A and B are shown apart, each in its own frame.
Chain A
């Protein structure tokens, strides 16, 4: 069985079933039309019709603060590796965020492998949810083709008329379907509804910027010295909002936190940001990217050009979070448009 369906009236029961097995997190509403992933025990607590959460689900894969090691100076250099992990089901993850997790998977499984990430990832069950329309005008998933599922989930739900079509991608997903006893075999009528949905989406989701996917890296190569960056640098507050909310920004700092007796302690990993002035500062107080525009340009290139060279994929998922959250209203689509205009 690679696909199944679940009636809409059974969805609440499914969430209760999942929550009875392990911690479930899903999109919950906050004020001002915003959302966050948080623990839930029932479907009613979630808002499945949500726009991207403030922080992407990366916070479950690489937490803001994460203990990597414990040390005891009595034992000298011998340190104890720690992986703080719990079984977790992520429910209702949109395709942009699934793409983000796939990017992180690629980075952290690159050599040297990041075992903390790899172990934690194995404890997370991912249940995706298809978008039938744009969440808002900030999203640019169309240009990156992330409005469609491209794997990276255990189960993937597409909402249809009175049921969800469910794509089963892993053994973990398959056993959930079997154990819950809430799913039914797919019928032709439902398959047709999914085709209709996908056809409708083709009309809705277009490349938001007039550029072909394969031409994007070259644009950033050719506009490296563009004045567009200078203008962004004048606006940017270097608050780091864009990197913190980005589903593929994974830069971190590592700190030792001693206990009060100063002989024991832990080594922790904390999110860092290339937008901070100290990030690229080195010995002698030199900095690789002293100016705001350097840092802004670096971030864009880290999304659209450098990872293409190294990982053959663009590290922008099109979720629109950076544009949505930017205090200075630096907009990703506008930036790409401006670069294209300037290059001619």
Chain B
């Protein structure tokens, strides 16, 4: 049996997560020794007609064309991995879901809006079955490798379902709230090793919310810091708007 055939695809996204993979550095050599890379537009021009053992799909579904493309990839793949916020939760593309689609089309394409019909932004799992999720905008290289190993070994990868605060405490960062800054860490699922906060930034919620956030508790916390709950909700919508319809 040869090395597993692995392919990378992109739907609507900035392709930054593919760049993360291309930028793995030394680990990329190990990855390439392990798999047979058959399709990866960002780094090679070849394509593949056969079946994919593992397909990594970046980007979200924003029109019928991309929905079809995703379904085809799913049919041709044994394992499908959604990677990057656009693919796992809709990401920033989801912001348009809070507007009228016709307005969105005309904003981007002016009076030619009708030529480019779009649908509401959806994450991959809202359309096809997804076997593994690598959250994040962009994905964290370490987690990509963890998921790749799990996918190749046929083992489950459990995305942490606790708050970013956990890893942030492991890293002994001063809490952003103590610095008077709003941070989405307390309701965002971990797995990024509190990447942004380690580097002086706040958490933007790019990995999506923990599955069972304490909403009333969180609102009380915000009140105690004199923060408007709507402000936080809006911040959360930067990445998570496409998940709203999922909750309905």
Chain A residues packing against B (C-beta within 8 Å): 30-32, 34, 36, 53-55, 59, 64-65, 234-241, 244-245, 257-258, 260-262, 271, 273, 276-278, 292, 325, 327-329
Q: Which 5 residue pairs of A and B lie closest in terms of their CB atoms, listed nearest first?
A: A239-B165, A244-B169, A239-B163, A64-B170, A260-B30
Partner of A240, one of B165, B213, B218: B165
Chain B residues with CB below 8 A from A258, complex form = 149, 153
Q: Is the CB of B217 within 8 A of A237?
A: yes
CB of B161 to closest CB in A, whole Å: 6
Across-interface contacts of B233 in A (CB, < 8 A): none
Measured CB to CB, the closest approach of chain B to A267, in angstroms, equals 14
CB-defined A-B contacts under 8 Å, sample of 9: A54-B174, A235-B220, A237-B187, A237-B213, A237-B217, A240-B162, A257-B146, A327-B175, A327-B186
Cβ A238 vs Cβ B220 within 8 A: no
A295 to chain B, nearest CB (A): 11
B52 to chain A, nearest CB (A): 19
Closest to A37 in B: B172
Given the contacts A240-B162, A241-B165, A328-B221, A277 and B179 also touching, CB distance less than 8 Å? no
Besides A241-B166, A328-B220, 8 more A-B contacts (Cβ < 8 Å) are: A31-B179, A55-B169, A237-B186, A238-B163, A244-B170, A245-B169, A327-B165, A328-B217
C-alpha gap A238/B220 in the complex (Å): 14
A34 touches B178 (CB 8 A): yes
Binding site for A on B (CB under 8 A): 27, 30-31, 33-34, 145-146, 148-149, 152-153, 161-163, 165-166, 169-170, 172-175, 177-179, 186-187, 211-214, 216-218, 220-221, 224
A237–B162 CB distance below 8 A: no
Contact (Cβ within 8 A) B216 A239: no
A36 to B171, CA, bound (A): 10
Indicate whether A240 sits within 8 Å of B172 (C-beta atoms), given known contacts A262-B153, A327-B177: no
Q: Which residues in B have their C-beta under 8 angstroms from that of A36?
A: 172
Smallest Cβ-Cβ distance to A235: which chain B residue: B217
Q: A238-B214, A240-B166, A273-B166 are in contact. Are A278 and B161 (CB under 8 A)?
A: yes
Chain A residue contacts of B172, Cβ below 8 A: 36, 53-55, 59
B166, A239: Cβ atoms closer than 8 Å: yes
Q: Is the interface of A mostly helix, strand, loop or mixed?
A: loop
Are B175 and A325 closer than 8 Å at their CB atoms?
yes
Q: Which residue of A lies closest to B149 (CB)?
A: A258
Q: Are B152 and A237 in contact (CB under 8 A)?
A: no
* Closest B residue to A65 using CB positions: B170
- Report the minimal beta-carbon distance from B180 to chain A, rounded to whole angstroms: 9
Chain A residues near B33 (CB-CB < 8 A)? 260
Q: Within the complex, what minimum Cβ distance (angstroms) separates B226 from chain A? A: 13
Specify which chain A residues have a CB less than 8 angstroms from the CB of B152 in the assembled complex. 262
Q: Which residue of B lies closest to A329 (CB)?
A: B224
B221 touches A237 (CB 8 A): yes
Complex contacts, A235 vs chain B, CB 8 Å: 214, 217, 220
Q: In the complex the two chains form, is A244's CB within 8 Å of B174's CB?
A: no
Residues of A within 8 A of B162 (CB): 238-240, 273, 276-278
Known contacts A31-B179, A260-B31, A325-B175; decide if A234 and B153 are in contact (CB<8 Å).
no
User: In the complex, A92 Cα to B145 Cα: how many Å?
Assistant: 40
Name the contact of B149 in the complex, choosing from A34, A53, A234, A262 (C-beta under 8 A): A262
Contacts of B146 in A (CB 8 A): 257
Q: Determine the residue in chain A with the shortest Cβ distance to B153.
A: A262
Determine whether the beta carbon of B174 is less than 8 Å from that of A31.
yes
- Chain A neighbourhood of B27, CB < 8 A: 260
CA distance A325 to B168 in the complex (A): 12
CA distance A75 to B27 in the complex (A): 25
Instruction: Write out the residue numbers on chain B whose beta carbons fall within 8 Å of the beta carbon of A240.
Output: 162-163, 165-166, 169
- Chain B contacts for A325, CB-based, 8 A: 169, 175
| Residue from A30, A55, A276, A292 in contact with B214 in the complex, judged by beta carbons closer than 8 Å | A292
CA distance A278 to B221 in the complex (A): 23
Q: Which residues of A contact B179 (CB under 8 A)?
A: 31-32
> What are the residues of chain A within 8 A of B212 when measuring CB–CB?
277
**Inside 8 A of A237's CB, which chain B residues have their CB?**
163, 186-187, 213-214, 217-218, 221
Q: Is the CB of A239 within 8 A of B145?
A: no
Asked if A261 and B217 sit within 8 Å, CB to CB, the answer is no
Nearest CB on A from B222, distance (A): 10
The chain B residue sitting closest to A55, CB to CB, is: B172
